[in-house]
């Protein structure tokens, strides 16, 4: 079991909340083929890397910071059934290897008999339909939910949001990451500044995750004390450098390389940290690692 498998179990109340959301989500099964839903799914896939970056830090936390985190997956139904062609459901306990998204099904399907709540699920990243996580009741992601909310009247949206007790934001605007606050000089403050930045809707140049910078000093000291950790390989055959390159964590990548991590080491799929950063589209990490190969 690698270090990113240490996610604390979701509280029972959060599980119930998710099941309620999934039950309401039946409309997505009907509207799943609409152009708006297709566009929402495409955006979810394009921005999934930020969801995974958030989870990479959540799995390091002793005290959970996320209220919930889940990915929507479409399951083909029996062609002879009277239901829709696909049934959309959510999975949690997410893992990701750069190609495949894995998790556990949260709710029982309405139109399928082959799977049920609690069953393991794995799908290619190219086939997910949405992702979402919450911090202090604020929703990030949820592209398909935004499509549904955008079709509601103001009163319907207010009733919807009040029922779930979550802040989904303005219809038509999907938040990807929280506002970034840099209150003091840090490892990457020269790159990202020190003042609070507005929530960014564009994915062109989102800032480094706050924990990446906040933990840099402690991580630096830890690697000084235990330099062998920088080159260690987990039970799945991955190095920490590969894990952080996949997740887009610039400060840890920089520190691991500084303390002797091998940028050319390959995971069981034959991918280096540089390969993974390129695949996911982390330009700062790509630039840093490319220097090590020249």
pLDDT value at position 18?
A: 56
Looking at residue 26, its pLDDT comes to 44
Q: Look at 206 and 127; give whichever has higher pLDDT.
A: 127
Question: Higher-confidence residue: 198 or 154?
Answer: 154
Same domain as 110, residue 61: yes
- Which of 164, 180, 202 is the C-terminal boundary of a domain? 164
Residue 194: per-residue pLDDT: 40
Number of structural domains found in the chain: 2
Instruction: Dig out the tokens for 30 from the structure.
Output: 């009907």
Mean pLDDT of the chain: 82
Reply yes or no on whether the pLDDT at 7 is more than 60.
Answer: no
Residue after which a domain boundary falls, among 164, 181, 207: 164
Which of 23-27, 154-158, 161-165, 220-224 has the least mean pLDDT?
23-27
**Can you tell me the distance from the alpha carbon of 174 to that of 251, in angstroms, rounded to the nearest whole number?**
27
129 and 193 together in one domain: no
169 φψ region: left (φ > 0), alpha (ψ -120 to 50), beta (else): left
| Shared domain check, 262 and 119 | no
Query: Above 60 in pLDDT, residue 159?
Result: yes
**What is the 8-class DSSP label of residue 81?**
S
Indicate whether 169 belongs to any domain. no
User: How far is Cα 164 from Cα 137, in angstroms, rounded to an integer?
Assistant: 10
Q: Is residue 278 pLDDT above 80, yes or no?
A: yes
pLDDT score at 196: 38
Q: Using DSSP, state whether 178 is helix, strand or coil.
A: coil
Helix (H, G, I), strand (E, B) or coil at 163: helix
Please tell me the distance from the alpha carbon of residue 154 to that of residue 91, in angstroms, as a whole number: 29
Query: In this structure, are 62 and 199 located in the same domain?
Result: no
Give residue 230's pLDDT.
94
Task: Quote the percentage of the chain above a pLDDT of 90.
Answer: 60
Is residue 180 domain-resident? no
Same domain? 59 vs 132: yes
Q: Are residues 148 and 198 in the same domain?
A: no
Is the pLDDT score of 238 beyond 80?
A: yes
pLDDT of residue 109: 85
203 and 128, same structural domain? no
Dmax of the chain from CA atoms? 63
Tens digits of residue pLDDT in 87-128 = 889 999 999 999 999 999 998 888 887 888 899 999 999 999
Residues 199 and 234 in one domain: yes
Contact 238, 2 (CB under 8 A): yes
Q: Which residues pair with 72 in a beta bridge?
A: 90, 130
Quote the pLDDT of residue 24.
52
**Domain identity same for 204 and 264:** yes
Q: Is 104 within a domain?
A: yes
176 domain residue, yes or no: no
- Annotate the chain with three-state secondary structure: CCHHHCCCCCCHHHHHHHHHHHHHCHHHHHHCCCHHHHHHHHHHHHHHHHHHHHHHHHCCCCCCCCCEEEEEEEEECCCCCCCCCEEEEEEEEEEECCCEEEEEECCCCCCCCCCCCCCEEEEEHHHEEEEEEEECCEEEECHHHHHHHHCCCHHHHHHHHHHHCCECCCCCCCCCCCCCCCCCCCCCHHHHCCCCCCCCCCCCCCCCCHHHHHCHHHHHHHHHHCHHHHHCECCCCCEHHHHHHHHCCHHHHHHHHHCCCCCCCCCCCCCCHHHHHHHHCCHHHHHHHHHHCC
Q: What is the pTM of this model?
A: 0.83
Structural domain span for residue 270? 189-292
Residues 72 and 206 in one domain: no
Q: What is the CATH number of the domain that holds 200?
A: 1.25.40.20
Question: Rounded to whole angstroms, how far apart are CA atoms 108 and 125?
Answer: 22
- The answer to whether residue 62 sits within a structural domain is yes
- Is the pLDDT reported for residue 199 higher than 60? no
**Per-residue tokens: 105:** 């099904």
State whether 130 and 210 are in the same domain. Answer: no
Q: Is 171 a member of any domain?
A: no
Residues 157 and 252 in one domain: no
The share of the chain scoring above pLDDT 70, in percent, equals: 79
What is the β-pairing status of strands 138-141 and 100-105? unpaired
- 68 within domain boundaries: yes
pLDDT for 50: 96
Q: Is 224 within the bounds of a domain?
A: yes
Inter-residue contact 210 to 181 (CB < 8 Å):
yes
- Least confident range from 35-49, 109-123, 195-209: namely 195-209
Q: What is the pLDDT of residue 205?
A: 57
What is the torsional sign of CA 117, 114, 100, 1? Answer: positive
């Amino acid at each position: 079991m690698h270090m990113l498998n240490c996610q604390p179990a979701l509280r029972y109340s959060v599980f119930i909340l998710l099941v309620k959301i999934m039950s309401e989500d039946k409309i997505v099964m009907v509207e799943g083929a609409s152009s708006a839903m297709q566009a929402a799914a495409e955006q979810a896939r394009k921005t999934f890397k930020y969801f995974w970056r958030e989870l990479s830090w959540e799995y390091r936390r002793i005290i959970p910071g996320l209220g919930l985190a889940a990915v929507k997956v479409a399951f083909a139904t029996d062609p002879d059934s009277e239901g829709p062609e696909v049934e959309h459901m959510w999975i949690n306990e997410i893992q990701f290897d750069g190609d495949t998204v894995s998790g556990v099904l949260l709710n029982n399907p309405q139109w399928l008999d082959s799977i049920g709540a609690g069953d393991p699920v794995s799908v290619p990243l190219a086939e997910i339909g949405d992702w979402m996580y919450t911090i202090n009741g604020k929703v990030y992601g949820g592209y398909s939910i935004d499509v549904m909310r955008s079709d509601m009247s103001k009163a319907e949206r207010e009733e919807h949001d009040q029922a779930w007790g979550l802040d989904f934001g303005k219809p038509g605007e999907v938040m990807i990451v929280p506002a970034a606050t840099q209150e003091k000089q840090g490892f990457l403050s020269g790159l990202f500044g020190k003042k609070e930045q507005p929530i960014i809707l564009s994915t062109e140049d989102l800032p480094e995750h706050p924990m990446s910078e906040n933990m840099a000093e402690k991580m630096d000291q830890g690697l000084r004390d235990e330099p062998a950790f920088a080159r260690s390989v987990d039970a799945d055959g991955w190095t920490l450098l590969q894990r952080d390159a996949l997740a887009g964590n610039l400060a840890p990548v920089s520190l691991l390389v500084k303390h002797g991590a091998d940028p050319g080491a390959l995971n069981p799929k034959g991918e280096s940290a540089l390969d993974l950063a390129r695949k996911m589209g982390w330009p700062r990490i790509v630039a840093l690692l490319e220097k090590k190969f020249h």
